[in-house]
Amino acid sequence: MGRGLSAAPVSPRLVLGAAALVLLAAAALPSPAAGVNVTAVLSAFPNFADFARLLASTSVAGELSGRSSLTLLAVPNANLPQSPSAFVAGAGADIADVLRYHVLLEYLSPSDLAHLSPSGKLVTTLFQTTGRAPSDFGAVNLTLGANSTVVVRSPAPTPGSNATVLGAVTAVPYNLSVLAVGGLILPSGFDLAASETRPPPPVNITRVLTDARGFNVAASMLQASGVASEFEADEHGAGITVFVPTDDAFAGLPATDRLQSLPAERKAVVLRFHVLHSYYPLGSLESIVNPVQPTLATEHTEAGHFTLNITRVNGSIAIDTGIVQASITRTVFDQNPVAVFAVSKVLLPKEMFSRGDSGSTAIVPPSVAMAPGDTSSEQTPQTRLSSPPDLHGEDSESSAALATAKGASWWRIGLMYLQLHLLFLSLV
Ligand SMILES: *[C@@H]1O[C@H](CO)[C@@H](O)[C@H](O)[C@H]1NC(C)=O
Ligand SMILES: *[C@@H]1O[C@H](CO)[C@@H](O)[C@H](O)[C@H]1NC(C)=O
Ligand SMILES: *[C@@H]1O[C@H](CO)[C@@H](O)[C@H](O)[C@H]1NC(C)=O
Ligand SMILES: *[C@@H]1O[C@H](CO)[C@@H](O)[C@H](O)[C@H]1NC(C)=O
Ligand SMILES: *[C@@H]1O[C@H](CO)[C@@H](O)[C@H](O)[C@H]1NC(C)=O
Ligand SMILES: *[C@@H]1O[C@H](CO)[C@@H](O)[C@H](O)[C@H]1NC(C)=O
Ligand SMILES: *[C@@H]1O[C@H](CO)[C@@H](O)[C@H](O)[C@H]1NC(C)=O
Ligand SMILES: *[C@@H]1O[C@H](CO)[C@@H](O)[C@H](O)[C@H]1NC(C)=O
């Protein structure tokens, strides 16, 4: 470039153009972000994918891009709480601040850790820079524990949580050192004792779902519909129980388009239909006395409508809408007054999705028995999904076809085939 500028034959216009190009290129580079891209660094370590996702979702990853000489205390997926932000919110803290507490503003290699003095080493974290940390509680005290393990904790007289350094993960000398720690470390001042004196902040259920993974569709629908904001009132009342269909449940809904293309108002009704107006931990759902429960959607319509029938089937909890039977697959979050459960199917209210309507093909028809060619099977009465058809009692053709079908998975494959078939029939 320098030589080009001094060479006589180069026209001034060309020089200007080249200079403009250089400027443009410089502008296109994330100039202050010359430091490290922590998301890219962690992407090589699937074991830390959840922690990386938290950093990215809270903008903390972005805050790091302009910095160098950092040590990141990363928590392996298996050591994170099921819903990190809800866990942290329980202690009255904000997940972003807790993540900032895991960013030390000093580059520490494993050998630095091996040479800690007995009085420990105080290292400032990114959290200290927010000004929200009282005194120097935004720093961590690194000390040598038993067996020369390094323990990270708050320097406060009554320390918050602590974690052990498990080992080095990777390093980009001397900009970023990534060390694995045994768990999330809450700064002092955000301990559970403090949160007892003030009401806990409302649980952000959308965030719980975003953290928990596998609920992207439900989370974005709740957020977009504004229904999530209706939950807060419930959290202050009798509590709230939310049944959240997994992404797989949405994917398994042949009529997804139809659900997604409902007017916003109707979509909100379907979402409210997934919510009970009381806090029911798993144990109380199992022993529920009145199986027919009103939902949030009931409140917006009339009594007796939009109810869920909650029963026990074979030791697990089944939720019946009259046209869909779903089961609870896991507890996503449970902290009085909020319970969030994953469910295997989207709960379609019978008031909106009537049978025989192609929009409701999510409803599994009665039995695989079932002569698929016979369209009247759509009219046959619904049997409980919970009791798969007796494979021996069917007509010869289907029992031959199903002779090898011993497990529930084969049964499900059969149902899927039938669903597709019925969908096809309804299209022709
Ligand atoms: C480290 O950061 C400095 C400035 O922040 C940057 O110039 C350098 O390229 C970085 N090194 C690596 C290996 O990322
Ligand atoms: C960091 O890396 C990730 C993935 O490699 C990429 O999506 C993101 O845009 C990068 N961020 C910056 C600021 O370069
Ligand atoms: C220290 O190491 C020994 C031997 O490896 C082990 O038996 C012991 O449980 C360790 N103690 C602690 C506190 O980690
Ligand atoms: C850090 O911890 C060590 C060991 O418990 C303690 O002796 C030291 O006083 C602590 N440092 C600070 C600044 O709290
Ligand atoms: C770390 O936390 C555990 C559990 O809260 C506690 O028993 C232990 O004493 C703490 N260790 C240090 C070094 O603070
Ligand atoms: C709840 O969390 C979501 C996702 O993190 C966020 O977009 C939303 O603004 C939060 N809502 C409230 C009320 O804080
Ligand atoms: C609720 O489900 C149970 C078991 O599936 C069934 O016996 C009961 O009749 C249902 N109740 C109503 C009101 O649908
Ligand atoms: C319920 O249990 C019975 C008896 O163990 C079994 O035959 C049936 O397949 C089970 N149903 C479901 C839905 O798991």
Structural domain ending residue among the three candidates 293, 310, 343: 343
Asked if residue 244 is part of any domain, the answer here is yes
Question: Does residue 280 share a domain with residue 157?
Answer: no
Span 25-60, pLDDT tens digits? 444 444 444 678 999 999 999 999 999 989 988 889
| Mean pLDDT over the full length of the chain | 76
Q: What angle do CA 100, 101, 107 make, to 5 degrees?
A: 90
How much is the pLDDT for 118?
86
User: Residue 102 maps to which CATH number?
Assistant: 2.30.180.10
Q: In this structure, what DSSP letter does residue 176 have?
A: E
Question: Does residue 217 share a domain with residue 130?
Answer: no
Question: Does residue 240 share a domain with residue 152?
Answer: no
Structural domain ending residue among the three candidates 317, 343, 369: 343
Q: How many domains does the chain have?
A: 2
188 lines ligand 5 (CB under 6 A): no
15 pLDDT more than 60:
no
User: How many A from CA of 158 to the centre of ligand 4?
Assistant: 12
The closest alpha carbon to 258, from 364, 360, 378, 365, belongs to 360
Question: Does residue 327 share a domain with residue 251?
Answer: yes
How much is the pLDDT for 303?
76
Ligand in closest contact with the CA of 117: 4
Asked if residue 78 is part of any domain, the answer here is yes
Asked if residue 17 is part of any domain, the answer here is no
185 pLDDT more than 50:
yes
User: How many A from CA of 89 to the centre of ligand 2?
Assistant: 28
Question: Does residue 214 share a domain with residue 157?
Answer: no
Q: For a pocket test of ligand 1, which of 63, 72, 175 has the largest count of ligand atoms closer than 8 A to its C-beta?
A: 175
How much is the pLDDT for 86?
78
User: How many A from CA of 165 to the centre of ligand 3?
Assistant: 15
What is the distance between the alpha carbons of residues 415 and 401, in angstroms, rounded to a whole number? 13
389 pLDDT more than 70:
no
Question: Does residue 282 share a domain with residue 238?
Answer: yes
Ligand in closest contact with the CA of 52: 2
What is the distance between the alpha carbons of residues 370 and 165, in angstroms, rounded to a whole number? 59
Question: Does residue 156 share a domain with residue 121?
Answer: yes
Domain that holds residue 166: 38-181
Question: Does residue 152 share a domain with residue 230?
Answer: no
Asked if residue 265 is part of any domain, the answer here is yes
Question: Does residue 220 share a domain with residue 155?
Answer: no
Question: Does residue 146 share a domain with residue 46?
Answer: yes
Structural domain ending residue among the three candidates 323, 343, 363: 343
Distant-in-sequence, close-in-space partners of 325: CB < 8 Å, separation ≥ 6:
318, 319, 345, 364, 384, 385, 386
User: How many A from CA of 182 to the centre of ligand 5?
Assistant: 12
139 pLDDT more than 90:
yes
pTM: 0.54
Asked if residue 121 is part of any domain, the answer here is yes
**Mean pLDDT confidence for 365-373:** 34
Asked if residue 384 is part of any domain, the answer here is no
